[in-house]
Structure 1
């Protein structure tokens, strides 16, 4: 097995996300999977990932998992790790193609972030990471909740039972596969098919594809007018 740091995400050029898109995706879709490798094998835990600050070029994610989780117990300084975050996804049926028949496929949005894991064992720093997570997730709500509202002593009792971490980012990659390899007419047919399913993931993918299609139409019209 190749070590985690030697593997790159497979992304055909047409589907590649730029760093701005990746960062925006992480902020809007923070829940994912922490993947590490130790002598006992691979460990995977579902958990949210939050940028440590709001700086545009922040290169550290923070998070926490249960302290009795085997992965938490095996965390070590400078351990290689991957954060895998996935967005909406949907099956694309060949029935929706009208111009040129094709095979089934899957449209999706996904991000992989690779870096070095730094365990956080200081209780005050753990509390700061919890506070940062809450602040980010409560942001924009009509009445954002803060950790100060927790029952007296509850946070202090919790801290020894979690293990927080920082993930120093070395590489961020993302794939946004939305049928970009198909002509606009076919993509519109796919959008219609996805909308007809009524499935949550399909509707989200259809919405993303619709935005891309509208932007492409606007850019085409602008280019046409500019050349007149």
Structure 2
């Protein structure tokens, strides 16, 4: 992705945190039939491999997994995003030379993909993925809450994905190219929004960053 130095984020801890927070990704492969994308939740195992490993699964009926990938696969994770009106900029009052933009966080993870059908590996995957997303609940549901024969039947309907991360690209476009006064105005405007994602973006804008006006 286009990633000017001012917006580039290289810290693996920050990128892993964005992946965990995003949860759902667009999983993309280049195939002989052209690019194919499937939206799906993926689990990040940070302890495995040099940069971590992503796990997920597709419906067996989804032809995506049957198409041989050409080169690396790509998992796209989007963080919070928000429309930025120029009305929030202090510089609008000074010279009026301002235009709208969009703030957002994004992580692109690349790696060689493996599709697997082993039932025990699939059971481990769905157990871990379920536990991850059920954890915040007061009474978490577990895979073992369902009849074993039913779960085994469900496992035959999916195909697993394992993607060791070969490289990570991170972008935090958070008004770093604006003056401190302009950024302060953006934070104030977003913080007052009814949208939770707008308020999340407000918390990511670095007020102390030195930038051009």
- Give the alignment of 1:2-151 within 5 angstroms: 9-17=1-9, 18-52=11-45, 54=47, 59-75=52-68, 80-99=72-91, 101-151=97-147
**Retained in 1: the 8 A contact 2:51–2:164?**
no
C-alpha deviation, 1:187, in angstroms: 0.6
CA distance in 2 between partners of 1:55 and 1:141 (Å): 27
Q: C-alpha displacement at 1:160, in angstroms? A: 1.1
What SS does the corresponding residue of 1:153 show, helix, strand or coil? helix
Count of matched residue pairs:
204
Q: Distance in 2 between matches of 1:13 and 1:53?
A: 26
Once the 2 structures are TM-superposed, how far is the Cα of residue 44 of structure 1 from its aligned partner?
Answer: 0.6
Corresponding residue SS for 1:10: coil
Q: TM-score, normalised by structure 2?
A: 0.86
Structure 1 consecutive aligned stretches of length 4 or more whose deviation exceeds 4 Å: 53-58
Deviations 1:116-140 (A, max 9, x none): 0011111111111111211222234
Instruction: Could you tell me which runs of 5 or more consecutive residues in structure 1 were left unpaired when the two chains were aligned.
Output: 1-8, 218-228
Q: Using the TM superposition, give the Cα deviation of residue 53 of structure 1 relative to its aligned residue in structure 2, in angstroms.
A: 5.4
The answer (yes or no) to whether the contact 1:67–1:73 under 8 Å persists in 2 is no
Q: For 1:58 and 1:158, how far apart are their aligned partners in 2?
A: 31
Answer with 184-193 or 158-167: which moved more. Answer: 184-193
Q: Give ranges in structure 2 of 5+ residues lacking alignment.
A: none
Judging by fraction of residues, say which structure has more helix: 1
Contact 2:79 2:104 in 1 (8 A): yes
The answer as to 2:189 corresponding to 1:193 is yes
Normalized against structure 1, the TM-score is what? Answer: 0.81
**C-alpha RMSD of matched pairs (Å):** 2.2
Instruction: Report how far residue 84 of structure 1 moved.
Output: 0.4
